[in-house]
Structure 1
Amino acid sequence: MNTQIIDTVRKNKPLIHHLTNQVVMNFTANGLLSFGGAPIMAKAEEEAAAMATIADGVLLNIGTLSANDLQAMIAAGKAANQKGIPVVLDPVGVAATPYRSNAVKQLLEEVQPTVIKGNAGELAHLVNVPWQTKGVDSFGDGNIEEIARKVAKTYQTTAVLTGKRDVISTTESTTINGTGHPLLAKVTGAGCLLGSIIAACLTTDDSPYEQAETAVAFYGLAAEYTASQEQVKASGTFIPHFIDALSMDVTALKGESL
């Protein structure tokens, strides 16, 4: 984890343009604000490209996708590519229906993502690897490192595969993240918010691999810290304390002296 990436995000407060799903907007916005970024939620096709041009990064999340959303995502993604700002693609539930699968295929044909983030089932689907899924959840078992590497190579991107073990992979390097907590799997939108945190970290001058690894490691560390607090009993009490933890320094999350 490169803590300077986090410090830079908090100093610069990057504006992240979210085209994300309706279920998670409030949680995502508050989580990114706590971390140090500035969220804006704008999915109208009429302004998507213009909004992307004033942003520092763009998040495309297909959780509650509609036809209009898809066209807005393509417009925003293209504008971000032209401006040279990072794009995070979160193909939520891509394996659930042909509509989602075809939509992501179209997105990937027209937009170059800096990072593709998803669970094992979602990323496996993108590279035609059989995997058991149920809706937006992944239940399969297999070589997650190989799936992440294949996604990175196929789409010339950084792949972030999330689950019990998180994998960050580029065409050259792969690492397993060692932080996290099972309560994250009990919170709707936890993965979606991670996509937002990754997008914010991608706005620094470091490599996408290091930026993504830092975002994932910090996110998991914040979850570990939150779950260890006496006030946290289950997912309901986890959520507000987790948002608080996202604003903290790494030393505090580790229980170290400043």
Structure 2
Amino acid sequence: MEINKKVSEALNSVREKTPLVHHITNYVTVNDCANITLAIGGSPVMADDINEVRDMVSLASAFVINIGTLNSRTVEAMLEGGKRANELNIPVVLDPVGAGATAYRTEIAKRILDEVKLSVVRGNLSEIKTLYGIETQTKGVDSGETIDENADEFTMAKEVAKNFAKKLNTVVAITGAVDIITDGETLYTAHNGHKIMAKITGTGCMCTSLIGSYLGAADSALIAALAGITSMSIAGEVAYENLDKNNEGTGTLKSRIIDGIYNLNENVIIERGRINEE
């Protein structure tokens, strides 16, 4: 319950501070990322041109890099923005969407890791394993692997996350059926969410935007990552429970996830949050 309280305090901080969260993200989910940022209490900006990225990052409380739809123009803006954020001690979160799917995508993700100091890296198991250096399978930009909490793979995933976090001196979050969040020392597993969320494009991207919002207001990157993931997962649960199963589906679900974030409060987090420290 103590960790749920810390997450709820982080939510209150976002809503008090209204952090400006600068995104360079993908055009498939850019509107969803903007709306989820607004719903949690942040202020989104989606400027990706290299001619203004340094100025825009300078105004921000956090910077989100999402490589979902890569092109050479935005890659340079991502790197320039990340370096500017580092100069100003503005936290940066990377979503390495589809790392491992193509050589170019993997190369760019690793280049960002090398050239930008990151506060949080959030990805699925395949993406994180690829960046860590373990051969894996991907299916487009989706994970080819899932985490079974009772399998040896789950133990391996926790070790990969911890070791990678230590190597990068950052927070690594692996999202899936069970989420793993660690700074290399402390490790949390989070157990909220619903499998139907995988049927909606952009739930991972929106989760990263939430982490960016929390990073812009919280003192701890570890708590920010945990709070973003827990918030998204609880909203997904609530959204699914509120569906009329006879005539509503994934379109309504996405809207209700955003509603769930907008209506999220301290009581909901404390009552519903299922977080373990390991």
TM-score norm. by structure 2 comes to: 0.88
For these two proteins, the number of residue pairs brought into alignment is 256
1:251 aligned partner: 267
- Taking the TM superposition and a 5 Å limit, the aligned residue runs for 1:1-258 are 1=4, 2=6, 3-140=8-145, 142=153, 143-231=156-244, 233-248=248-263, 249-252=265-268
Q: CA deviation at 1:255?
A: 7.5
Q: CA deviation at 1:234?
A: 2.4
Q: CA deviation at 1:171?
A: 1.7
Question: Using the alignment, how far apart are the partners of 2:169 and 2:53 within structure 1?
Answer: 24
Question: Using the alignment, how far apart are the partners of 1:171 and 1:163 within structure 2?
Answer: 19
Which 5+ residue runs of structure 1 have no aligned equivalent?
none
**Structure of greater relative contact order (alpha carbons < 8 Å, 6+ residues apart):** 2
Deviation digits for residues 90-141 of structure 1 (CA, Å, limit 9, x no counterpart):
0100101111111112111110110000000000001111222111111225
Q: 2:234 corresponds to which letter in structure 1?
A: L
Could you tell which deviates more after superposition, 177-186 or 87-96?
Answer: 177-186
Question: Using the alignment, how far apart are the partners of 1:203 and 1:154 within structure 2?
Answer: 24
Q: 1:14 corresponds to which letter in structure 2?
A: P
Percent identity reads 36
The secondary structure found in structure 1 opposite 2:259 is helix
Question: Using the alignment, how far apart are the partners of 2:217 and 2:20 within structure 1?
Answer: 12
Q: CA deviation at 1:160?
A: 0.8
TM-score norm. by structure 1 comes to: 0.95
Question: Using the alignment, how far apart are the partners of 1:140 and 1:245 within structure 2?
Answer: 28
RMSD of aligned alpha carbons: 1.6
Alignment check: 8 A CA contact 1:120 1:147 kept: no
Q: Would the alpha carbon gap of residues 25 and 130 (structure 1) be closer, same or farther in structure 2, given more than 3 Å must change?
A: same
Deviation digits for residues 9-44 of structure 1 (CA, Å, limit 9, x no counterpart):
011110000000000011111111111110000110
Q: Would the alpha carbon gap of residues 80 and 48 (structure 1) be closer, same or farther in structure 2, given more than 3 Å must change?
A: same
